[in-house]
Chain A
């Protein structure tokens, strides 16, 4: 696992997973959460720490199999793990990204937030370079 102070120039992706907790709330309660959530996100955008994110609809399809022929409805192992939205943070350390995630108003309703560094480059390219270097050593 990376050092908490590792710097990443490309920012961090917050991935929000939850069940449909909002189905249980009253109109007043849901308005309150919406307002808190908007304040949280707009505050981050105003500070230049987040780009506008998006909510994702819960339906969808999954394409898999080596030829991509398998198409199934839905993402969905368990409803509480469905990806409900994302937010891209423009901050330099994962510690700051985590601190921001910890202030998300939806955590109180059981949402989990995955914090992931956006990669400098595709892992395939990195691996291709490693292999090329190994071959160079082997032949040197």
Chain B
């Protein structure tokens, strides 16, 4: 699609591959967390982000209706 398209309803950001916990030192992890929070806080204050939530990595997939 054109990157100039306007959408009145906003955009959803979906974050994948977020298991970056392993291999980081506590200091690195803290830095990533701080950067992330600062980014999200700034977007919220600017009115550009509405809400966000992390999801647990486990879950279930439903593919068939109960009849």
Contacts and interface: CB of A to CB of B under 8 A. Distances in A.
Q: Say what secondary structure dominates the interface of chain A.
A: mixed
A59 interface: yes
A79 B60 CA distance: 21
A128 B33 contact: yes
B58 interface: yes
Contacts, number: 95
B59 interface: yes
A107 B32 contact: no
Contacts of B3: 61
B53 A128 contact: no
A124 B32 CA distance: 8
A41 interface: no
A101 B65 CA distance: 8
Contacts of A107: 62-65
Interface of B: 1, 3, 7, 9, 11-12, 14, 18-21, 25-26, 29-30, 32-33, 36, 53-66
